[in-house]
Amino acid sequence: MRIVLLGPPGSGKGTQSQRLMERLGIPQISSGDLLRSAVARGTELGRQAKGAMDGGRLVEDSLVLQMIRERLGEPDTPGGFILDGFPRTLAQAEALERLLRALGQPLDAVVQLEVDSAELVRRISGRRCCADCGRVFNLFTSPRTAVESELCPKTGAPHRLTQRPDDNEATVAERLRVYEEKTRPLIDFYRARGLLRVIDATGDVDEVSRRLTQALGAPAAPRAPRRAPAATRVRAAKRRRASASARVRRSGRTARRVRAARPSGRRVRGRTAAKPKAAAKVRSRVASGKTRRPARGGRGRIREKRR
């Protein structure tokens, strides 16, 4: 399966991806982990990303996209993957869609993890990661035994728990603001594609895992009625305005013709008073006193009446 986990920082994307990875046997691709590793290794990407990460801002789309493109090119991805923390902007989502279409590997599901903001702050402040294997724990929610006595699969020693430098109060506020501004719009993007599932990600971790599994097996949230792209809507509105003003111009011309057909000081009654040629003829004949009626009757007849 090819899955995207969407959700604000602290919603449990990392924890749930790790569990899904073990259950489905597909890799977890966390853009945050990849960037942190680039920073730790001191690569050019890490050097360019560090400032934004420390400030709780997003790393430039072009850098993240290049990194994800390379990662999706690795041999463990054709059987499926879980994207955690990517995409985070509409530009990233559109680029991912193009990339996966080119690879012939479209997404199967996008799951949005919903958690209220007070709970997010509490979770983030309690979050600790093992410096060696990257496993995520939470001082408030993980079982005490797991935090204290579990051994790190990399070192065989107890986990070395560290707090992420961007999990501090000021940076967290900025990360939540950035999420609302840049990432929340992806919910509608994926709903419109019929890929979105939304789960309540509060409460017990096992319970959230169950909801996630259920959501992945369930049909997606109904698509919102599809709106035409903005450019098409603008063109259609322009066309509507143009044809409305053409109607106004036409009716103005008709009104002018009717007025032009009226000899001054006289009232014209007739079914075809708007026909300019016939009206002009009438005017000239009436003006020269030759007739009080048009020469021909029938449809073109216009009766003159002195007031």
Active site residue 127: yes
> Which position among 164, 257, 285, 301 bears the catalytic label?
164
What is the C-alpha separation between 123 and 164, in angstroms, rounded?
13
Total binding residues for ligand AMP by CB under 6 A? Answer: 18
What is the C-alpha separation between 34 and 59, in angstroms, rounded?
12
CB 104 to ligand AMP: min, Å: 23
Closest residue by Cα to residue 226 from 193, 186, 184: 193
**69-98 binders of ligand AMP (CB under 6 A):** 85-88, 92
**157-186 binders of ligand AMP (CB under 6 A):** 166, 175
Among 58, 172, 199, 261, binds ligand AMP (CB under 6 A): 58
CA dihedral 216, 218, 224, 229 (to 10 degrees): 40
C-beta separation of 112 from 58 below 8 A: no
* For ligand AMP, the closer CB: 61 or 272: 61
Residue 7 sits in the site that holds ligand AMP (CB under 6 A): no
Strand order in the sheet with 136-138: 136-138, 127-130, 161-162
Q: What share of the chain is helix, strand, coil (3-state, %, to 5)?
A: 50, 15, 35
Closest residue by Cα to residue 4 from 187, 177, 128: 187
Active site residue 19: no
Residue 124 sits in the site that holds ligand AMP (CB under 6 A): no
Residue 9 sits in the site that holds ligand AMP (CB under 6 A): yes
**234-293 binders of ligand AMP (CB under 6 A):** none
Region binding ligand AMP by CB under 6 A among candidate stretches 48-56, 144-152, 188-196, 267-275: 48-56
* For ligand AMP, the closer CB: 115 or 282: 115
Question: What are the strands, taking DSSP E only, across 123-255?
Answer: 127-130, 136-138, 161-162, 196-200
Residue 32 sits in the site that holds ligand AMP (CB under 6 A): yes
Tell me which residues are annotated as active site. Answer: 13, 88, 127, 164, 175
Task: Give the binding site for ligand AMP (CB under 6 A).
Answer: 9, 31-32, 35, 52-53, 56-59, 64, 85-88, 92, 166, 175
